[in-house]
Copies of this chain bind each other. A is one copy, B any other.
Amino acid sequence: MDTQSAYLERLRPLGAKRSGKRDLIVDVFLKQDGHLSADELFDLIREQDQKISRATVYRALHWMVGAGVARKVDFGDGRSRFEHSYQHPRHFHLICKLCNRSFEFLSSDIEVLVEEVASARGFETRQSVLQIYGTCDDCQAGRSVQRTVAATELLFARDALRMAIATERSGLEFYSRGAELVDDPQARTVFQRLAAEEREHLTTLEKRFEQLLLEDSDLESYPTFLFFKGAADGLFASGTDRLAKVADDREALMLGIRCERGSYRFFKRYGERFEDSEGKRIFLEFAAEEREHLRLLIGEYRKLVGRSKAADGSSSPEAEVAG
């Protein structure tokens, strides 16, 4: 966590003056996981410095919220709670009313819908908070096991990797199949090359996943953190299905372009939304790879259309590629 100080440095201009006290408070706060009430944070601070007053803690929290370091969340139990934004994408909460534990998750699907609703009203969103109150499975089963939960950062990275791997797999299948089906030798070469790349990336991603597991061997067993309904894996999968039905090589390439473009936009868009974190990096790196593939495919598509001028013009080829 050495980027942390750099991160804070970036924020300074917003907040004016630096001070030892505030630094301490911010520091202690960022080291914590989960949701702290002002009072809990105060107690923690007091362990380090007996002389810091409650008011200072409140003021520091207020500053952090303003500077975007922290978010204020309300669990309905009277006092406010705070959580970091640092390496911690905004997320939603499942709150168990029995054991008072809270579980986090992230759903890009929901975020998209929220955006749609807001824009339908001309509303400019700054923050959205979703809390689902109810009973957790442990409490329902009578278990009172205080299951330790991995850091959100790890879960996020895990889910981002899972998604990337799933996409890579179905991409691999798509291109392998495509290489078999395509007639044009150059198009086939491109499909084969892309298949090879997917295979290579897949290996890389799987290694990265294994490395992640080293940090917490139970990582795979924790529940999903990042929900993506029609995540990219569906894109290529349905693409592969449709591949069997394409009329010619041009259509096959176009299908590839559509899949890659969907996948690229998807990973880029979400990668951009998150705060600095391993998960964000995974998303963005993956998006960059998809962009390369996309470029390759589009180039090949243009060449193919050039070669066979007798394009049937059924679906305005150039326009589609341009998008």
Contacts and interface: CB of A to CB of B under 8 A. Distances in A.
Contacts of A122: 136-137, 140
Interface in A134-155: 134-137, 140
A224 B123 CA distance: 13
Nearest to A136: B123
A120 interface: yes
A110 interface: yes
A37 interface: no
A308 interface: no
A131 B116 CA distance: 14
A72 to B, nearest CB: 7
A103 interface: yes
B129 A134 contact: no
B107 A124 contact: no
A130 B125 CA distance: 13
B113 A229 contact: yes
24 contacts: A94-B117, A105-B117, A107-B113, A107-B117, A109-B113, A110-B113, A110-B117, A113-B113, A113-B229, A116-B227, A121-B224, A122-B136, A123-B132, A124-B134, A125-B132, A125-B133, A126-B134, A126-B135, A127-B132, A127-B133, A127-B134, A128-B130, A128-B132, A130-B131
